[in-house]
């Protein structure tokens, strides 16, 4: 026989959507005893427990439960589930929204193309249960699965998927589930300010250090983030990145075709502004203002870059762009009047030295 308190807990568990067989197993009784309580044959006068303990919470959530119950169960699973067990759950659009809003602090920028692809599959009921999982960290944050959850929200369709809890925080840096994480994803998930431009600037600084003529050099996520963390995470670096972003926005113009062209990309601009600042910070900031306002040496550089890109279908060798920027800076430092003679570098020459 179940006690009055146990019957109250059974009623609470029934209200939360727990299967009668699971409740029976919990209390070590025949499922018929739980059915009697469910139908009111036993304990009709006993009220359900108001706040059952966590060990009486169900081990799964379903879209049929209230969103408050789903969230409560999810919280309990995050704190009690082992990391070596993956189980299939059905995520309601409401629970997906809760996870994206409150638990999605360490993920890459979402891809609209990927989300739309998932939404179409969910609406057409073509979304299968695969080995891909939603992954939560030990602190309860979503490590992997945001595209699926965003698609669940937008489609309004429940998502049935494996879910894994208690994976070590920071594992996103080494994970390749779904779209492979790029260098920029690494900076974004690490909450680096102006992550895309900062990542690009870091790469250009690494290239300049290794070989400024090798514009196609690639680096792994750990390599580029380690370089940033050890050498670049300074107020001066972030100041030059912010300036470079302003310069990029100010110098974008309509090309003859009507499309906007990016004449001074923020990443490489920030990298070289930092190198210039290492030579003379005050002059580097004044030079940056000329680029931003399109005056003096900045105006001459922007014009030659714009003319060369427009004459070449919008394309320009990145090393050439960087070399001409260095030559412009050198002329500025040496108080050489802005003129076409500043731009003498060709791809078969050594990269100019920063003065």
Domain containing 101 — which CATH number?
Answer: 3.90.1530
pLDDT (0 to 100) of residue 176: 44
Give the integer Cα–Cα distance in Å for 69 and 94. 12
Length of the chain as a residue count: 355
Give the integer Cα–Cα distance in Å for 176 and 187. 15
State percent of the chain over pLDDT 70. Answer: 88
The reply to whether 351 falls in a domain is no
Averaged pLDDT for residues 79-91: 80
Give the integer Cα–Cα distance in Å for 33 and 20. 9
Contact assessment for residue 279 and residue 333, using Cβ atoms and an 8 Å cutoff: yes
Are 98 and 162 in a shared domain?
yes
pLDDT (0 to 100) of residue 178: 44
Are 201 and 331 in a shared domain?
yes
Are 171 and 87 in a shared domain?
yes
**Global pTM value:** 0.54
Are 287 and 336 in a shared domain?
yes
Are 174 and 191 in a shared domain?
no
Identify the residue whose tokens are 């690639």.
Answer: 218
**pLDDT tens, position by position, 169-193:** 655 545 544 445 566 767 776 778 8
Contact assessment for residue 324 and residue 304, using Cβ atoms and an 8 Å cutoff: yes
Those residues whose C-beta lies under 8 Å from the C-beta of residue 302, and which sit 6 or more positions away, are: 251, 263, 264, 291, 294
The reply to whether 348 falls in a domain is no
State percent of the chain over pLDDT 90. Answer: 28
Are 118 and 41 in a shared domain?
no
Residue range(s) defining the domain that contains residue 257: 184-342
| E strand residue ranges, 92-245 | 133-137, 142-144, 159-167
The reply to whether 284 falls in a domain is yes
Are 292 and 234 in a shared domain?
yes
The reply to whether 111 falls in a domain is yes
Contact assessment for residue 263 and residue 306, using Cβ atoms and an 8 Å cutoff: yes
Contact assessment for residue 176 and residue 148, using Cβ atoms and an 8 Å cutoff: no
Q: Of 148, 179, 210, which residue constitutes the final position of a domain?
A: 179
The reply to whether 355 falls in a domain is no
The reply to whether 188 falls in a domain is yes
pLDDT (0 to 100) of residue 117: 84
Give the pLDDT band (50/70/90) at residue 19: confident
The reply to whether 350 falls in a domain is no
Give the integer Cα–Cα distance in Å for 340 and 177. 51
The reply to whether 349 falls in a domain is no
Give the integer Cα–Cα distance in Å for 301 and 298. 5
Q: What is the CA radius of gyration of the chain?
A: 29
Are 167 and 225 in a shared domain?
no
Those residues whose C-beta lies under 8 Å from the C-beta of residue 20, and which sit 6 or more positions away, are: 14, 31, 34, 35, 38
Whether 289 has a pLDDT exceeding 80, the answer reads yes
Are 249 and 301 in a shared domain?
yes
Whether 271 has a pLDDT exceeding 90, the answer reads yes
Are 67 and 132 in a shared domain?
yes
Q: Where would I find the H helices in 211-293?
A: 221-227, 235-251, 266-279, 281-293
Contact assessment for residue 333 and residue 280, using Cβ atoms and an 8 Å cutoff: yes
Give the integer Cα–Cα distance in Å for 118 and 317. 37
Give the integer Cα–Cα distance in Å for 273 and 244. 8
Identify the residue whose tokens are 């739980």.
Answer: 34
């Amino acid at each position: 026989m179940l006690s009055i308190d146990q019957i109250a807990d059974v009623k609470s568990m029934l209200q939360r959507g727990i299967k009668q067989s699971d409740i029976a197993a919990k209390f070590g009784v025949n499922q018929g005893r739980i059915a009697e309580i469910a139908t009111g044959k036993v304990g009709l006068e006993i009220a359900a427990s108001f706040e059952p303990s966590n060990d009486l919470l169900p081990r799964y959530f379903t879209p049929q439960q209230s969103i408050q119950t789903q969230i409560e169960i999810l919280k309990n699973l995050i704190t009690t589930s082992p990391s070596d067990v993956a189980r299939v759950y059905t995520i309601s659009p409401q629970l997906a929204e809760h996870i994206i809003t409150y638990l999605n602090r360490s993920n890459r920028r979402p891809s609209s193309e990927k989300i739309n692809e998932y939404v179409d599959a969910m609406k057409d009921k073509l979304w299968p249960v695969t080995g891909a999982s939603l992954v939560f960290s030990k602190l309860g944050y979503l490590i992997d699965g945001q595209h699926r959850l965003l698609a669940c929200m937008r489609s309004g369709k429940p998502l049935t998927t494996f879910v894994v809890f208690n994976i070590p925080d920071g594992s996103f840096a080494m994970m390749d589930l779904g779209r492979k994480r790029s260098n920029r994803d690494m900076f974004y998930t690490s909450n680096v300010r102006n992550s895309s431009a900062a990542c690009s600037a870091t790469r250009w600084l690494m290239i300049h250090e290794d070989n400024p003529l090798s514009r196609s050099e690639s680096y792994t996520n750990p390599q580029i983030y380690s370089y940033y963390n050890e050498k670049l995470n300074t107020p001066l670096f972030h100041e030059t990145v912010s300036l470079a972003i302003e310069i990029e926005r100010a110098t974008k113009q309509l090309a003859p075709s009507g499309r906007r062209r990016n004449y001074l990309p923020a990443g490489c601009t920030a990298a070289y502004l930092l190198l210039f600042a290492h030579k003379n910070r005050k002059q580097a900031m004044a030079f940056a203002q000329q680029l931003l306002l399109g005056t003096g040496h900045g105006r001459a550089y922007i014009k030659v870059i714009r003319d060369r890109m427009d004459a070449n279908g919008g394309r320009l060798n990145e090393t050439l762009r960087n070399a001409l920027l260095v030559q412009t800076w050198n002329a500025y430092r040496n108080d050489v009047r802005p003129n076409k003679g500043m731009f003498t570098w060709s791809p078969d020459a050594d990269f100019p030295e920063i003065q």
